[in-house]
Structures are given as structure tokens and as C-alpha cells.
Structure 1
Amino acid sequence: MTQPERNQLSIPTEPIGSIPRPKNVLDAIAEHTAGTLDDAGLATVIDDAVADTIQQLQAAGSPVVTDGEQAKPSFVSYPLQGLSLAPDGAVIPFADGHTRTLPRLTAGPFRYGANAATYLAAARKHASVPVKQAVIAASALSLIYPSAGIDGYSQSQFLDDLVDGAEADIRSSLDGGADSVQLDFTEGRLSLKLDPSGGLLDTFVDLNNRVLDRFTAEERTRIGVHTCPGGDQDSVHSLDVDYVDLLPKLFRLNAGRFYLQLASETDPERVLSAVSEHSRADQRIFVGVIDPIDPRVETPEEVRDRVLTAARYIPLERLGTCDDCGFSPFADDVSTSREVAFAKVAARVRGTALAASALGA
């Protein structure tokens, strides 16, 4: 192995998850919904997109890849197939005025209709490097239970079923060969907007820890948590919430890895100081060095400088890099092109390697 290769690997760097779907995938989904394309035809189109996504991530030098969530309707809704749902659940408002609405559970029991391990198996067929798998956090799915309750199916029963399903979703991915499993926890920062007292955030952390505590300490080194202020159609839902208010409780989560949005923060050093204060020695911190919402592709030198700043606060043996969030968490988000997404990934990989070299790693 050459010295540059060693430097590149000395600071791990990973994508968060979603990559914009190509137009033929979006067209195929629409045709399948309309009944003019069968299941096999849709599966073929999606498999081709997964193969292309992984090939391009590897070509960009990514030492770890994902399937780009090409087959997921969204990062949050993949487990909800086959449930009894109404469309009028919790509404998530974004800064530009658009909203996303979660479904509302109308009857129990709650069961996962799709498992992330299925996406993992499809991705591993095409990858020659390790594959990470993103899953939705139990706290996000808890929002589909209505505040008015469900006759004959208590919230306590729902949460028990949810924790069982979330554990199985993570465990099957670990057992299926995932390099790591990432819990998407974008609702963490949003919870402080909905409830500034922090009570809702406490509930979310406790619920996710019910899941995480079912894994051994060794298994939790391969389980991470991603947090960001949302990223959909080039807008956010909670960037106006003070990050420093989230971090002390975030690091109460019993996970071994944390993927933190940082590139889009106006005062990253203030955030890094809080990360240094509140994170534990057994938690690896992946700092966001790419802003998926910014249409400009960062230079490797910009990425390098962001990493060098983070290294002043986080020990090198605990430091990694990532994108702030996925490039297209919802399938219909085409605000960023695939070409720009892959160019940003390449900049992250090259910039991280430059930083490792500068640090003498």
C-alpha cells in the first residue's frame, strides 16, 4: 500500500445515504403506480440504478458505499408497506414553505412491511467495497401513532412492537454483512422546535435507547446515528434551532458512531466545542464537510480545511467525515443532480485524504 493510500484510509469518510434517482427510475415508479409496469420491470430499472450508483461512488474513491436509497420511496417510509394508514398524519414544515406529511396509523398491530436488509443484499451484489445501510430511527416512526390513540391498540403496545421491529431492522442488516448501520435521526433537532422544553427530545432519546440497548457493546461500534436539520428540495426544517441545545442529549444515545451535519453551520467551531465537551471517548464522530443543499461543488481544499478545524476539537482516532445529509431523502426530490452529488462525494474523499496527509496521519 502506498503512503497516499494509507493517508486516505487514516480518516474514515462515508456517504450518508441517498443519491438523486435518475429520471428513468422516477418514470418507472410512476408507471408502476399507474399499473402500466409490473413488479419485475420496476425491479430491473431500480437494480440498474443501484449498480450505477455504487459504480459511481466507487469511481469517486468512496471507501464505503450505500445503495443511494434508489429503491426507497423515502428514507422514513420504507417500513410502512401493508399497514392500515391514513394520509393526514404529522406535518413537517420546511423553511421555504413546502411541507411533508407523515401517514397516520389507524389500526394495529404495527409491523415492518419492508426490511432494510433487502436493500443491503441488492447493493452488496454490485459493490467491491464495504456497504453501509441506513435505517429509520424508531423515534421517527413513533410519530405515526395518533395523539387521540387507537381503539384496542394502546400506544404502549405500539411502542413495544416498534422497538421489536426496529431491532430486527438493524440486526438483520448487521447479520446481512453491513459494514455499519446508520439510524436516521433528523427529527432530533426538529423536536426542539416542536417542544423547546426538550421533553419530546428526551422521549425520542429514551425510545431509541430501548432499541440500542438490545445490542452488545461490540455491535454498537457498528451502529451510528445521523442528525441534521433536514434537507429536502434545497430547504431545511430546523436549522434555526440552536445545535448546541441538541448535542448534550444526542450523545446520550448508546451508539458508537455519530454522523453530524456541520458544513452548513454558520459557527462550526462553537458546535465542535460542544461536541468535544459532550461526546464520549467510545464514540466516533463523523463531521459533515459537504453541504448537499449548496449547488456549488466544494473544492478538496475547502474540505481539507474543514477537517483540520474539526481535528482541533476531536482526537484523530475518533474523527471521520461525511456529507451533511443525504442528497435526496425523498424520491421525488430532484433539486440536486446526480452529477453534482457524485462530484461532491469525490471532493469529500479527496479533501479528507489531503487533511490526513497534512495531519501526518
Structure 2
Amino acid sequence: MTSVRTTHVGSLPRPESLVRLMYDHQEGRGDPAELEAAVGDAVHDVVAMQHTAGIDVVSDGEMGKPGFVNYVRERLGGFGGQAPPWSIDDLDAAPELAVAQYGGEAGAHIMPANCEGAVTYEGAAAVARDIETLKLALDKTGHDEAFVPAASPGCIATGSPNLHYPDYDSYLDALADAMAHEYRAIVDAGLLLQLDCPDIPMAGHTAFWCRDEVSRRGLVGFAERHVAAIDRALEGIDPSRVRLHLCWGNYEGPHHLDAPLAELLPTVLAGRPTMISFEAANPRHEHEWEDVRDLPVPDDVVLMPGVVDTLNNIVEHPRLIAQRLQRYVDVVGPDRVIGSTDCGFGTFVGFGRVGAQVAQMKLRAMAEGAALVRA
């Protein structure tokens, strides 16, 4: 029987020493050589951890990035200044949760930028360094399959206000053309590319600077435009080497305003990427396997349901993980299901309720659960 394989979304808990060094770097202080050495050590350790836990497709844990999207301010020309933070509608019902998660030092270091000029890609050296560091860690562990996350054009656009381009479409296309260089570098290096796309599900319940675009186009129309930007950026890239991650926000909150997966998934399935990651473990979205079952999933699509929650410290039982995986195996078969996490464990530096030890336990449980499905 074909094995059900395992992976995760990308970011993993960073060592506290690395968190401090990254904060210094963001503030324009510290020794770049010291930071680079610390990143290399952290990537080696985190790849070894995933290998030991039994994860099939690993990542560098985003150890060298301050966050899954704000890292681009150092890789894109035309960005600068300090953008205002976005707010999340469902947290209005629980403001204490917003303060607890975003009100401290970690929240102050998200530091999104504005688009103040023509967008250009200036990150060739940085992405090459990411690739080399990850490959060295893979060689040391003997692991042979890995992915690198990167922000999607829409993810960048929603978080960084446009102060330069005449309209949203021009801005989005400029981002797609610039980030295409990073995407190609990752795939050309023999690694899988993951595009982080929280912009698509979160557009319905988040006060991004471009909320009027969501209102004008509608949630599905907004998603279609962002998928079109992804397809533009992936021109000439093998779609089977690309994963797309959907997320409603990796934060503790009611999530009672989350858009249904069934409303957005057909648009995503029509795009180029053939591996689709989505939340399927947390109590707001676990039930949506029934919607996936009832949708026509193209024959070339691999489903990557989250079967482990990244926002609590309870380690899922392997049998529960196997049950969650089995639902999707019954829909598309075991060779088209890869078990994953709902989101990352450390989306921004200093963020994350789950520490490194529990994250490793959760990944191990996922591997054990996948083994039960194989049996």
C-alpha cells in the first residue's frame, strides 16, 4: 500500500538566543556574522529534529527569517517605512486575546513595511543563503526531501500598503513579477516551494488596508485575483513542485467569522499549485472534510490537511491523527494525501504558544498516526 507521508507548514519554534539576535537585527544592531552562524546551527538542529520525529518532507523552520511575510522588506526594493498593523474582526469579541498575543515585544517586531516605490527583487543572495544552509543540514542528516516557504504576492500586498502604484492590480502584478525570482530559485535548487496564502481566507475577517478591494470584488473575486497573481509568478515553474498553504490566521481567537473552506477551495484548486495545505485539525475547521469530500478534486491535486493543531500544547493521539487522515484518504487515496499541521509553530519571531519540545512531540505523533493509516 502506498504510504501516507507527513510534513508541516514551515515555521518551527526558534531558540531564545536566536530570537534575541533576530530582534537586534531588526533594530539595526548586532553582528551579522553572529546571526548567520546562529541561523546555521538552528537550521541544522531543527532539520535533525524533524528527521528524528519521522517527518518525510522537512523545512529549515524559517530560522533565518523574522516572520513568514515581513522578511520580504529585506528582499524587495521599493519597500520602507512602518506600515500600520492590521486588525482582526473576531478579536473584537475578545480584546484581551489581542493584547496577549500582539501587545508585547514579539508583536512590536512584526514591523510590516509600506510599498513606497517600484518593486524590484533584491533577495538573490539571501535566498541562495537559505538554500545552501538548508542543503547542508539535509546532507548532515541524510534527509533528501525538503521545502522552503515563501510569501505569496497577495500575502505581501495585504500586509504592506501600496503608496506607489496607481491601483491594486498593478501593485499585485509587480509583486508577482518580483517574487517569481525567489520562487524559481527555490525550485531550481531541487527543493519544493510553499506559497503562504493567509490573505485568501483572512480577507473576509481582517481589516487589511485594502479592505475596499475585498468589498468591491467579493471574497471569491478577491481570491480569484490573488490566485491569478500566483499563476503569473509561477509561469514556467513545474506546478507539481509547488505547495499552497491556506490559513485563517495562526492566532488564538473565536474564529467565528472565518470564511468557509468550501467557498474558497474551488478557486484555489483551479490555480497552478497542485499541493494544497489547509487547516483541518482545529475545532473551527475540522468538520470541513465533509465539504472536501463533496467537491470535485482534480486528479493531479495532493491534499495536505492539517491534522495537528499548532495553537495548543496538547499532543494529539496518533489514533486521532490516523482518523483525520483516513477521511481524506477515503476521498483521494493514500498517495494523494500528505499529513501536515494547521499552520506554523512560530509564524513570527517570538510568537507561538507551543514550545520546541511539544512541537517535536506533535510531529512525532503525526508520523505515528500516518503509520497507522499505512497499516
Question: By the TM > 0.5 criterion, same fold?
Answer: yes
Q: Name 2:250's counterpart in structure 1.
A: 231
- Match of 1:80, as an amino acid? R
Q: Match of 2:86, as an amino acid?
A: V
Deviates more, 1:313-322 or 1:189-198: 189-198
CA 160–201 in structure 1, closer or farther in 2 if over 3 Å, else same: closer
Q: Alignment length, in residue pairs?
A: 343
Q: For residues 84 and 174 of structure 1, do their structure 2 counterparts lie closer, same or farther at Cα, with a shift above 3 Å needed?
A: closer
Read off the aligned partner of 2:246 and give its amino acid letter.
Answer: T
Q: Which amino acid aligns with 2:315?
A: V
* Paired residues of 2:80 and 2:115 also in contact (CA < 8 A): yes
Distance in 2 of aligned mates of 1:109 and 1:243 = 34
- Can you list the C-alpha shifts for 1:88-117, whole angstroms capped at 9, x where unaligned? 346142633255777343521212343544
Q: Say whether residues 1:305 and 2:323 are aligned partners.
A: yes
- Report the CA distance between 1:177 and its aligned residue: 2.2
Does 2:148 align with 1:137? no
Any unmatched runs of 5+ in structure 2? 92-96, 207-213
Match status 1:182 vs 2:204: no
C-alpha separation in 1, matches of 2:253 and 2:61: 20
CA distance in 2, matches of 1:299, 1:142: 38
Question: Normalized against structure 1, the TM-score is what?
Answer: 0.86
**Which ranges of structure 1 fall in alignment gaps of 5 or more residues?**
1-6
Q: 1:241 to 1:20 in 2, by over 3 A?
A: same
Task: Kindly indicate whether the alpha-carbon contact (under 8 Å) linking 2:278 and 2:306 is maintained by their aligned counterparts in 1.
Answer: yes
> More helix per residue: 1 or 2?
2
**Aligned equivalents of 1:188, 1:229: Cα separation in 2:** 8
Conserved? CA contact 2:303–2:338, under 8 Å: yes
1:265 Cα deviation from its structure 2 partner: 4.1
CA RMSD of aligned residues (A): 2.6
CA distance in 2 between partners of 1:120 and 1:185 (Å): 21
Cα 1:223–1:251, aligned 2, differ >3 Å: closer, same or farther?
Answer: same
Per-residue CA deviations over 1:115-160 (Å, capped at 9, x if unaligned) read: 544312211101121221111111111225646x427x76555444
Alpha-carbon contact 1:117-1:169 (below 8 Å) kept: no
Please give the secondary structure, in 1, of the residue aligned with 2:205.
Answer: helix
Structure 1 residue aligned with 2:227: 205
Contact 1:120 1:173 in 2 (8 A): yes
- Per the alignment, residue 3 of structure 1 pairs with none
Instruction: Among all aligned residue pairs of Structure 1 and Structure 2, give the percentage whose two residues are the same amino acid.
Output: 23
Q: Report if the CA contact (8 A) 1:228-1:261 is conserved.
A: yes
Query: Displacement, 1:79?
Result: 1.9
Residues 14, 236 of structure 1: alpha-carbon distance in 2 compared, 3 angstrom cutoff: farther
Deviation at 1:53, TM superposition (A): 0.6
1:170 is aligned to 2:171: no
Task: Name whichever of 123-132 and 268-277 sits farther off.
Answer: 268-277
Amino acid at match of 1:170: Y
TM-score by length of 2: 0.83
Matches within 5 A, 1:1-361: 10-33=3-26, 37-81=30-74, 83-89=78-84, 91-93=86-88, 95=91, 96-98=97-99, 103-114=112-123, 115-127=126-138, 128-129=142-143, 130-143=145-158, 146=161, 149-150=163-164, 157-178=170-191, 180-193=192-205, 195=214, 197-198=218-219, 199-212=221-234, 214-216=235-237, 219-232=238-251, 234-235=252-253, 240-266=258-284, 268-274=286-292, 276-357=294-375
Separation in structure 1 between the aligned mates of residue 355 and residue 241 of structure 2, nearest angstrom: 30
